[in-house]
Structure 1
Amino acid sequence: MPNIFSNADLIFYKEEEEEEEEEEEEEEEEEEEEEEEEEEEEEEEEEEEDIKLCIYFVT
């Protein structure tokens, strides 16, 4: 069976594939960062609630 792809075609497809992988990795990193930020916000809110409760019980 003859090779229907030229070397230039193969290089082009390989580059396209690498770009797609990089984009996917960047999206995953962004999602992880967003999740971390949400967790930090939740922790801060919990700390604020705890402080409010402490103040309430002390007064």
Structure 2
Amino acid sequence: MKTNYHFNDMDGPQAPWLDELMQLVARFSDLNVAPDLSNMVLADLWAVYLSLRRRAETLRTE
């Protein structure tokens, strides 16, 4: 898993972070983020991704 994403990586043709975002949204479904995703611009999705990823990493270290 790539740990250091750069802003330019977020909109590449494969954008693997989008797949991981969807997995994180499913994992943290209690946060009820999914309904809002379709109204977000790419930069907002990136922020949600980073936030959920940080949460997942924090849970992993506890």
TM-score by length of 1: 0.37
Flag the structure with more relative contact order, 1 or 2, with Cα contacts below 8 A and sequence separation at least 6.
2
